[in-house]
Structure 1
Amino acid sequence: MRRGSELRKALAEKFDDELRFFKGWIDKPKAVGSIIPTSSITAKRMASVVDISSGLPVLEIGPGTGVITRAILGRGLPAAKLYAVEYSPDFVRHLRRNFPGVNVIEGDAFDLDATLGEDAPKRFDSVVSGVPLLNFPVQQRVAYIEDLLDRIPDGRPIIQLTYGPKSPVPPGLGNYSVKHFDFVIRNIPPTQLWVYRRGRGN
């Protein structure tokens, strides 16, 4: 009976997340890239780039309902070392309720100096990005990646998901390298993962 109860609770939470994500997509289709949340498989692949041993905090951009947030914490990162920037006030409330201790910040990912504020860390181990970059002009995407790379050590990654076949930030337009990381079929829609780096490890 207990196992059945736990299963029903898990299914109810998953449905609630998907409903919340769909509502977010209806309200702000440009800010939410898909009508359903990222799969747990994709989330674990993205979280795998985080180096817990670095001692540095991690920056997550566009956490949505928190599927990737959960995967990052699942690697052993203390909640206080995770900074999650989310544009949607509804998602922010959901994240703060479900992930106590995580630094959930409401604001614009394309203006991180203002969004993070003066008290936020100046350096992060890595960046996990779920921002739907294909909804924005190419030069804005390049500036976004360049800004994030300024916040992490040389050689450390930004991992970005996209539903298009190519990197959402083209190579050769700035001081960064582009590498395909994975293609996750078990995601709706199937997802491409890309890594951007600067300097060491290109």
Structure 2
Amino acid sequence: MPCASTDGARFFRSWLQDPLRVAAIAPSGAPLARLMTENIAAADVPVLELGPGTGVFTQALVDRGIGEENLTLVEFDDEFADLLRLRFPNATVVHGNATKLKGMQLFAGGQAGAVISGLGLLSMSPRAVMSILSGAFSYLRPSGTFYQFTYGPQCPIGASILDRLGLEAERVGGTWRNLPPAAVYRIRRRTPSTPSI
């Protein structure tokens, strides 16, 4: 089980080393983790998690009954990747950059039902965000969903990027019980409109 004080120190140290990459000074809290994972069910496995950090969202998924063996965690930070391997020994931990998802060949068979993203998209270039989303959706089955949180007042993925990728975003909730307060968005493929007769 993660230790909040030790994880906070790790997170803060990583943030000091590279604020734009880590994008937060503390791990996400339990209320945000519950909000991010509350719509994930056994039918959604396998689940892909991007930027899991110390594993707060990962633990919330496990607490919801998602087996570690159904989780693939992509983490860029060396220390966090090692920590995740210790905490979730049956999960697949990939030490890599989420902007290069398409070249990773993450799943031997089948497609993910959900992606959980702990990445700080607001601190990334539009090109990086496009690469992350297009890579993530290449692993999602047609009905799959991508969950992203933000500390900002609106969806962290701009309308032009959503349009270009044929996606739509919906705010599914927010919590003031996080430092800082956060909102969660669900991103899906747009359903083609049926022509009227």
- The TM-score with structure 2 as length reference comes to 0.88
Q: What is the number of equivalent residue pairs in this alignment?
A: 190
Q: In the alignment, which of 60, 66, 85 is matched to residue 71 of structure 1? A: 60
Residues 37-89 of structure 1: CA deviation (Å, up to 9, x unaligned): 000111111112222134x3100000001111100111111111100000000
Q: Mapping of 1:32-181 within 5 angstroms?
A: 32-54=22-44, 56-114=45-103, 116-117=104-105, 120-121=108-109, 123-171=111-159, 172-181=163-172
Amino acid of the structure 1 residue aligned with 2:8: E
Distance 1:123 1:29 in 2: 33
Q: Secondary structure at the match of 1:70?
A: helix
Q: Which residue, 166, 175, 184 being the options, matches 1:193?
A: 184
Measure how far apart 1:174 and its partner are: 2.6
Runs of 4+ in 1 over 4 A off after TM superposition: 118-122
Say if 1:128 and 1:158, in contact at 8 Å, map to a contact too. Answer: yes
Q: Matches of 1:154 and 1:46 in 2, distance apart? A: 20
Q: 2:180 & 2:60 partners in 1: Cα distance?
A: 19
The structure with the largest strand share of the pair is 2
Deviation string 1:155-189 (CA, Å, 9 cap, x unpaired) is 32100011111111122343101111111110000
Q: CA deviation at 1:122?
A: 5.4
Please give the root-mean-square deviation of Cα atoms over the aligned residues, in Å. Answer: 2.1
Gaps of 5+ in 1: 1-9
User: Aligned partner of 2:172: which letter?
Assistant: F
The answer on whether the counterparts of 1:141 and 1:168 sit within 8 Å (CA) in structure 2 is: no
Cα shift at 1:32: 0.8
Q: Determine if contact 1:57/1:123 at 8 Å carries over to the other structure.
A: yes
Deviates more, 1:163-172 or 1:129-138: 163-172
Measure the CA separation in 2 of the matches of 1:182 and 1:76: 22
- Which SS does the other structure have where 1:154 is aligned? strand
Identity of aligned residues (%): 29
The superposition leaves residues 90-147 of structure 1 with CA deviations (integer Å, 9 ceiling, x where unpaired) of: 1011111111111111000000133x34664551110000000011112331332232
